[in-house]
Amino acid sequence: MSKNANLFSLIEANFPTDLSAPCLKMPQGTGFINEYSWDDLQKASAKIANLLTSLELPKGSRIAVQVEKSPEALILYLATLRAGFIFIPLNTAYQTAEMRYFIQDAQPAVVVCSPKNFGWLAQLAFQLGCSHVFTLDDKLPNQGSLLQRAAPLSSQFQTVQCEPDQIASIIYTSGTTGLSKGAMLSHQNLSANALTLQKTWHWQASDVLLHSLPLFHVHGLFISSNVALISGSTMIFLPKFDAAQVLKFLPESTVFMGVPTYYVRLLEQAGLTEQLCSTVRVFISGSAPLLAETFNAFQQRTAKTILERYGMSETNIISSNPYDGERLSNTVGQALPDVRIRIVNNEGQTCAEDEVGDIQVKGPNVFKGYWNRPEKTTQEFTKDGFFKTGDLGKLDKNAYLSIIGRSKDLIISGGYNIYPKEIELVLDALPGVVESAVIGLPHADFGEAVCAVLVCNMTLDSAQIIATLKNQIANFKVPKKIFMVKELPRNNMGKVQKNVLRDQYKESFSLLTS
């Protein structure tokens, strides 16, 4: 039998010799509770893998998961890998309409949700043909129907044999038109990227990762967790980002990863000092552009230079500023060793040094395509196999990549990808709204803030519109400001000129002090 390409096999092969060593530490009060050893991780994931296998699901079945962050949620991810099924993490902020779409599109055989959402989500899932719905409680360890059903099962499980191209996870990513697309990531995609990052960032078994990212996001699930797991490293597992709590545990950590918003919040803390950060060998930032002022302020306060990198849901990490070497503000570093980056113009010709063009990438980290969208997949790849990222950038003389903007209107706010069309459809359906344009505006905290420009045929209250939207879409998609205009700017072809709107309102958050 050929070597098992299952990502869990790679993780398990790098477990420390002492399986009683801590893998996950859950902080509470002045110390740690609920420490999970590597032995706990292995046995608990085996029990859940046995449960999933007992359901006699077809090969390639999808397991859709919308639960709060917890050690058990991470274990469920590992169990899904072990059992050879496809893991689909979903943002915990998604509401009914969004969940209906994802379940219809992915057709999962199993849905796992928080107990508080079981009533409406189970009804929705069963209506759409899902066979099994379980609950997983982040507040009470070992509670919820998933763990209760798994508890009596064997703590031994033979990891399912997988081929390198077998799909391990589907990540729903955003576009500027249409609906979310499921990016299919194989076991090889995830393994290759984790191994490359382990080497690039000099990761060791002795490292301690302070993990405060959500698990439904590529950043928190694949980039952070996978690299720590294949290194046999301990993770201090915070349920969410809390600046004061992060400061508390930084002295016990060697690695911290975050989105730019996290670093802005940390800089607001008087306790952030050079001495406090002395044990942390690397601070890493991604998922959204890091402002130069944040980069410089953090360096001055802590004597640590943030390592910025570039990635996408479809590719994991593409490039990184060097671990050993100059880390430059406003760049995302050089291509990873096994990744090729090229910048091309509208004619598909390679751009000259420092010339702006479309960023295209190729490598073992690049996804296999979009779920059930072969035409879209073909459209997004060049004939010679490069993925069109949709981002604009340039390479300098040292092959450092700078992201200039996006050829599409994707908004990245606080590390979350947001596509305007979905929000516009909700706004346009409101009484009194004639048309809308949703844009992202520069924001010191979130990178970009979602804002809406409306044309109305009656007087509407912005606060009321925002309150209405909060009941219909995830909170991170709700506009932070709404502007009323008589008409939207258009070009000769009748297309709304969002670039004009972005320029017109670009100073809207310039006086923000937070």
147-157 per-position pLDDT tens digit:
999 999 999 99
| 440 vs 479: CA distance, rounded Å | 9
Secondary structure class of 169 (helix, strand, coil)? strand
Q: Which CATH architecture has domain 37-161?
A: 3-Layer(aba) Sandwich (3.40)
Task: Please write the tens of the pLDDT for every residue from 282-320.
Answer: 999 998 778 788 899 999 999 999 999 999 999 999 999
Q: Are 401 and 319 in contact (CB under 8 A)?
A: yes
Q: Are 284 and 255 in contact (CB under 8 A)?
A: yes
- pLDDT for 238: 95
Query: DSSP character for 457?
Result: S
- DSSP letters, 265-309, are HHHT-TT--TTTTTT--EEEE-SSPPPHHHHHHHHHHHS---EEE
Q: Could you tell me which residues are beta bridge partners of residue 88?
A: 64
Q: Are 211 and 236 in contact (CB under 8 A)?
A: yes
> Which structure tokens are listed for 85?
């099924």
Cα 170 from chain centroid (whole Å): 12
Among 395, 249, 407, 246, CA closest to 333: 395
- For the chain, the residue count is 514
Q: pLDDT category, 142, cuts 50, 70, 90?
A: low
Among 202, 180, 177, 163, CA closest to 88: 180
HSE, side-chain direction, 13 A CA sphere, residue 369: 14
- pLDDT for 405: 66
Query: DSSP character for 503?
Result: H
Cβ atoms within 10 Å of 198's Cβ, excluding its own: 19
- pLDDT for 392: 84
Could you tell me where in the chain the CATH 2.30.38.10 domains are found?
329-406
Out of 91-95, 194-198, 249-253, which region has the weakest mean confidence (pLDDT)? Answer: 91-95
> Which structure tokens are listed for 154?
């064997």
Query: DSSP character for 368?
Result: -
| 264 vs 288: CA distance, rounded Å | 13
Residue of higher predicted confidence among 1 and 119 = 119
Q: pLDDT category, 351, cuts 50, 70, 90?
A: very high
| 11 vs 203: CA distance, rounded Å | 14
In the chain, the amino acid numbered 351 is: C
Among 249, 244, 286, CA closest to 265: 244
Secondary structure class of 188 (helix, strand, coil)? helix
Alpha-carbon dihedral of residues 489, 180, 339, 403, nearest 10 degrees?
20
| 10 vs 194: CA distance, rounded Å | 10
- DSSP letters, 399-430, are --EEEEEESS--EEETTEEE-HHHHHHHHHTS
Note the helical H segments in 155-186. Answer: none
- pLDDT for 175: 43
In the chain, % helix, strand, coil (3-state, to 5) comes to 30, 25, 45
Cβ atoms within 10 Å of 391's Cβ, excluding its own: 20
| 217 vs 226: CA distance, rounded Å | 12
| 218 vs 171: CA distance, rounded Å | 8
Could you tell me where in the chain the CATH 3.30.300.30 domains are found?
411-504
Secondary structure class of 41 (helix, strand, coil)? helix
Ramachandran region, residue 215 (left: φ > 0; alpha: ψ -120 to 50; beta: rest) = alpha
Host H or E run for residue 33: strand 31-37
Out of 252-266, 322-336, 495-509, which region has the weakest mean confidence (pLDDT)? Answer: 495-509
Q: Which CATH class is domain 329-406?
A: mainly beta
- pLDDT for 176: 38
Query: Rounded to 5 degrees, what are φ and ψ at 167?
Result: -75, 130
| 160 vs 303: CA distance, rounded Å | 46
What fold, for 411-504?
GMP Synthetase; Chain A, domain 3 (3.30.300)
Among 131-140, 379-388, 402-411, the range of highest mean pLDDT: 379-388
Task: Please write the tens of the pLDDT for every residue from 163-222.
Answer: 999 999 999 985 434 578 999 999 999 999 999 999 999 999 999 999 999 999 899 999
Question: Looking at the predicted structure, is the pLDDT value of residue 141 above 70?
Answer: no
| 259 vs 241: CA distance, rounded Å | 10
Could you tell me where in the chain the CATH 3.40.50.980 domains are found?
37-161
- pLDDT for 513: 40
Q: Roughly what angle, to the nearest 10 degrees, separates helices 420-428 and 462-470?
A: 110
Secondary structure class of 311 (helix, strand, coil)? strand
**Mean pLDDT in the chain?**
92
Q: Are 460 and 453 in contact (CB under 8 A)?
A: no
- pLDDT for 224: 96
